């Protein structure tokens, strides 16, 4: 392929896509296509005449979203280099690459080592030991929202550092939280444009026009910087509130072209709900005559405010091996959030074959390839996805997509995510013979996003003959109102939290003939199969071995309800013909059954050793409060006799469970 600029390469490909017609095959020449914007396929084919986009057989065709950064590198000594990012630069920076190598990102200069980089402030934050310069009081609007661009005298053409201070009064010492949000979702999306360090929708929110970079800010309580940002929302946890008054200081750098609205809620709880009485705030430490109602947290409405002057743009820092320069190392950065989509156009019957998608700066809600609700019948054959800060394939409300013989490696969060809106479904998605490694490299919340494959509100889907390994994420996650799906003949090892996670799903999901091993400990333990608020599933012919905690575990029931207000159940599950051996704590952690009540059925399973954990039958229906995060006290019993386990789980004398020391063939 001739050497072309990123813009010319993108325009050339886009023109070929625009001219495509049903039945046409677009064959791309071997080479690396550097994209400067997302490719949009506005129309597809038909069932009889699909549109095919492919790399020529035996040739490597790569679509990449990386490019050199736009500034000038300068040496700062000790093999470290930096580049000031122009204020006009409006793209995301995902990963930094030196040739074929992805460098390690760090959060501060003192962490820089060879082949590490960071997107850092020119002037690092430091607790202000002196009084605020030219301080004045600023007040939120009636909804508790501070708009720094309106209520302060900021110069919109410069980056400025703001200092906000108030005092928070607590009646008792406790560990609480501070929750910041933008309070104004992007129309039609429900997404918050102002992201903090690591919010629910992604590390840098590359999908928003004015949110291309991290929000530079720091929070100090009683002089100590707070750093326990929640992985799925702009929430600071483990705030060490002391009894009496606590100084709260926020440093925030405004940036040209970016909105700076936020609402701040303080709480004595790790979420903003159920705060203790006696919580109030005032910049002059004045207690009110009547304490505010803080059941939903305390909305802070007044700050002492000042400005610490202009701040320079952020810098990209990199430390290279001895004697190397950015030019000799061929440094580039991923900058495109999505490589291919169909936009808002109906697009059906498309085949993507023999293509490599690399180096995108997506976030967990989006992906290298985005298939929205008007897309259906897309097929991915022998495609390879590598190095994204978010996902690889995102499917919204689609039907009959087919992903086969594809690979996914170095994924920021979830490789394949398929989901539908409330009361809708993803239909007949097939994922077959795919390989997933090193998913959730960015460390997003395992309770919210991170999995190799995650499907939500899906039916009649098939995940078969896949290999999922070495990931800081669940292997396969069926999340919320999934029904009649089949997970079969997969090999899952060295994932985190669970090999297969069934959550709030019902109606004959089948998990059969899978081999799940060496699951590592996460927020819900380290389990081969983890079932949470799940009913009427069929779990059979699986090998569950060498997992950190349990071969199979049923989590606590919660007070949530399904989409139509249906109470969640966790019974009617059939668990038969499985092998569970050499798991860290026990073979299973399940509820003890109550005679005469419909529960779960166990039979023909093979265990070694004979060790089980059972939830007391009087506690099995106690609910975890999903609104407050409060868990009830649950009594569990350890059982080391197969006969006792059978009696306590309602099995009759004809049960065919076995104890073996070696894994039989299944």
Are residue 382 and residue 497 in the same domain, yes or no?
A: yes
Are residue 406 and residue 261 in the same domain, yes or no?
A: no
Tens digit of each residue's pLDDT (9 = 90 or more) over 233-258:
667 889 999 999 999 999 988 776 66
Last residue of a domain, one of 275, 298, 333: 333
- Name the pTM for this structure: 0.84
Tens digit of each residue's pLDDT (9 = 90 or more) over 152-210:
766 666 778 899 999 999 999 999 998 876 544 444 443 343 433 333 333 333 333 32
Are residue 182 and residue 220 in the same domain, yes or no?
A: yes
Are residue 37 and residue 70 in the same domain, yes or no?
A: no
Assigned domain for 430 exists: yes
String of DSSP letters for 45-70: --SSS-EEEEEPTT--EEEE-EE--S
Assigned domain for 357 exists: yes
Q: Could you tell me the residue range of the domain that residue 112 belongs to?
A: 66-122+313-333
Residue 225, classed as helix, strand or coil, is strand
Assigned domain for 10 exists: no
Are residue 269 and residue 380 in the same domain, yes or no?
A: no
Are residue 302 and residue 387 in the same domain, yes or no?
A: no
Are residue 184 and residue 99 in the same domain, yes or no?
A: no
Are residue 228 and residue 293 in the same domain, yes or no?
A: yes
**CATH number of domain containing 374:** 2.160.20.10
Residue 414's pLDDT is 92
Assigned domain for 600 exists: yes
Cβ atoms within 10 Å of 533's Cβ, excluding its own? 24
With a pLDDT cut of 70, the percent of the chain lying above it is: 87
Are residue 357 and residue 446 in the same domain, yes or no?
A: yes
Q: Count up the domains in the chain and report the number.
A: 3
Please give the Cα distance from 154 to 664 (Å, whole number).
Answer: 71
Please give the Cα distance from 458 to 479 (Å, whole number).
Answer: 9
CA atoms lying within 13 Å on the CB side of residue 487: 31
Cβ atoms within 10 Å of 433's Cβ, excluding its own? 14
Distances (CA, A) of 474 to 5, 266, 365, 536: 40, 32, 17, 22
Are residue 255 and residue 379 in the same domain, yes or no?
A: no
Apex 23 CA angle, 21 and 27, nearest 5: 85
Band of residue 57 on the pLDDT scale cut at 50, 70, 90? confident
Residue 108's pLDDT is 82
Are residue 320 and residue 416 in the same domain, yes or no?
A: no
Q: What is the largest CA-CA distance in the chain?
A: 83
Assigned domain for 129 exists: no
Mean pLDDT score across all residues of the chain: 85
Assigned domain for 13 exists: no
Residue 605's pLDDT is 92
């Amino acid at each position: 392929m001739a050497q072309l600029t990123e813009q010319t390469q993108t325009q050339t490909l886009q023109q070929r896509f625009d001219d495509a017609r049903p039945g046409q095959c677009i064959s791309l020449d071997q080479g690396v296509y550097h994209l400067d914007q997302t490719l949009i396929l506005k129309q597809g084919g038909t069932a009889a005449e699909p549109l095919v986009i492919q790399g020529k057989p035996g040739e490597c065709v790569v679509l990449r979203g990386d490019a050199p950064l736009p500034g000038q590198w300068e040496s700062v000594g000790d093999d470290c280099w930096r580049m000031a990012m122009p204020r006009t630069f409006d793209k995301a920076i995902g990963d930094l690459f030196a040739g074929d190598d992805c460098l390690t990102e760090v959060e501060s200069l003192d962490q820089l080592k060879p082949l590490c980089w960071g997107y850092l402030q020119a002037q690092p934050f430091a607790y202000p030991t002196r009084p605020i310069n030219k301080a004045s009081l600023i007040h939120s609007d009636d909804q508790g929202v501070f708009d720094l661009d309106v209520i302060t005298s900021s110069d919109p053409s410069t980056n400025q550092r703001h200092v906000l201070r108030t005092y928070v009064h607590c009646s008792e010492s406790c560990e609480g939280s501070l929750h910041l949000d933008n309070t104004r979702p992007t129309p039609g999306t429900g997404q918050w444009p102002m992201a903090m360090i690591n919010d629910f929708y992604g590390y840098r929110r590359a999908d928003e026009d004015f949110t291309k970079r991290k929000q530079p800010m720091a929070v100090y309580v009683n002089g100590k910087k707070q750093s326990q940002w929640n992985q799925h929302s702009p929430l600071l946890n483990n705030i060490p509130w002391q009894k009496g008054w606590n100084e709260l200081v926020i440093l925030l750098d405004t940036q040209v072209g970016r909105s700076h609205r936020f609402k701040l809620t303080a709480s004595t709880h790790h979420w903003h709900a159920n705060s203790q009485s006696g919580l109030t705030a005032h910049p002059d430490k004045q207690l009110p005559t009547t304490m505010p109602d803080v059941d939903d947290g305390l909305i802070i409405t007044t700050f002492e405010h000042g400005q610490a002057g202009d701040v320079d743009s952020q810098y990209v820092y990199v430390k290279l091996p001895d004697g190397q320069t950015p030019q000799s190392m061929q440094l580039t950065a991923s900058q495109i959030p999505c490589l291919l989509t169909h936009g808002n156009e109906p697009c059906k019957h498309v085949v993507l074959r023999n293509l490599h998608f690399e180096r995108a700066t997506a976030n967990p809600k989006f992906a290298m390839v985005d298939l929205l609700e008007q897309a259906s019948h897309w097929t991915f054959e022998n495609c390879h996805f590598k190095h994204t800060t978010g996902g690889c394939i995102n499917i919204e409300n689609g039907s009959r997509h087919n992903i086969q013989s594809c690979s996914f490696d170095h994924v920021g969060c979830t490789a394949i995510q398929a989901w539908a809106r409330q009361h809708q479904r993803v239909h007949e998605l097939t994922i077959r013979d795919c390989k997933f490694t090193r998913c959730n490299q960015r460390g997003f919340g395992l309770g919210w996003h991170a999995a190799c494959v995650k499907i939500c509100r899906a039916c009649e889907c098939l995940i078969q003959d896949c290999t999922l390994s070495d990931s800081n994420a669940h292997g396969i996650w069926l999340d919320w109102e999934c029904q009649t799906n089949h997970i079969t003949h997969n090999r899952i090892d060295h994932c985190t939290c669970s090999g297969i996670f069934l959550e709030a799903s019902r109606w004959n999901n089948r998990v059969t003939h899978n081999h799940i091993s060496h699951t590592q400990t996460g927020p819900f333990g380290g389990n081969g199969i983890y079932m949470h608020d799940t009913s009427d599933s069929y779990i059979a012919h699986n090998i569950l071995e060498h997992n950190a905690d349990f071969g199979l575990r049923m989590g606590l029931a919660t007070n949530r309800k399904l989409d139509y207000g249906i109470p969640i159940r966790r019974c009617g599950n059939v668990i038969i013909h499985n092998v569970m051996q050499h798991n860290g704590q026990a073979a299973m952690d399940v509820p003890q059954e109550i005679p005469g009540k419909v529960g779960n059925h166990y039979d023909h399973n093979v265990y070694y050793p004979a060790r089980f954990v059972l939830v007391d039958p009087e506690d099995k229906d106690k609910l975890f409060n999903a609104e407050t995060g409060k868990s009830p006290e649950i009594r569990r019993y350890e059982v080391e006799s197969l006969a006792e386990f059978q009696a306590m789980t309602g099995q009759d004398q004809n049960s065919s469970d076995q104890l073996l020391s070696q894994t039989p063939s299944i």
